[in-house]
Homo-oligomer: A and B are copies of this chain.
Amino acid sequence: MTLAIDRLIRRLDAIGQLGPNDRLALQSLPVQYASYQRQDVIIEEGAEPTTACLVIDGFVHRSKLLPNGHRQIFSLHMPGDLPDLHGLYLKTMDHSLVATSACKLALIHHSAIRGLLRASESLTALLWRDTILDSAAFRAWMLMIGQAEADTRMAHLFCELYVRADAVGLVSNDSFPLPVSQIDLADMLGISAVHANRTLQDIRGAGLLNYEKGVVTILRWAELQELAQFDPQYLHLRDDDEVKSVVGL
Chain A residues close to B by CB (< 8 Å): 62, 64, 66-68, 70-72, 74, 86, 88-92, 94-95, 117-118, 121, 124-125, 128-129, 131-136, 138-143, 145-148, 187, 189-190, 229, 233-234, 236, 239-240
Report copies per complex: 2
Closest CB of chain B to A203's CB: distance in Å? 18
CB of B91 within 8 A of CB of A236, answer: yes
CB of B148 within 8 A of CB of A146, answer: no
Contact residues in B for A92 (Cβ distance below 8 Å) = 233, 236, 239-240
CB of A236 within 8 A of CB of B138, answer: no
CB of A145 within 8 A of CB of B148, answer: no
Closest CB of chain B to A135's CB: distance in Å? 3
CA distance A132 to B129 in the complex (A): 11
Given known contacts A131-B131, A132-B90, A66 and B236 CB-to-CB distance under 8 angstroms: no
CB of B145 within 8 A of CB of A135, answer: no
Closest CB of chain B to A153's CB: distance in Å? 10
CB of B143 within 8 A of CB of A66, answer: yes
Given known contacts A66-B229, A190-B147, A229-B67, A95 and B236 CB-to-CB distance under 8 angstroms: no
CA distance A236 to B95 in the complex (A): 12
* Most chain B CB neighbours (cut-off 10 Å) among A135, A146, A239: A146
CA distance A140 to B138 in the complex (A): 10
Task: Offer 25 A-B interface pairs, CB within 8 angstroms, sorted by A.
Answer: A64-B143, A66-B143, A66-B147, A66-B229, A68-B229, A70-B147, A71-B147, A74-B143, A86-B132, A89-B125, A90-B239, A91-B240, A92-B233, A92-B236, A92-B239, A94-B139, A94-B234, A131-B131, A138-B138, A138-B142, A142-B142, A145-B146, A145-B190, A146-B187, A146-B189
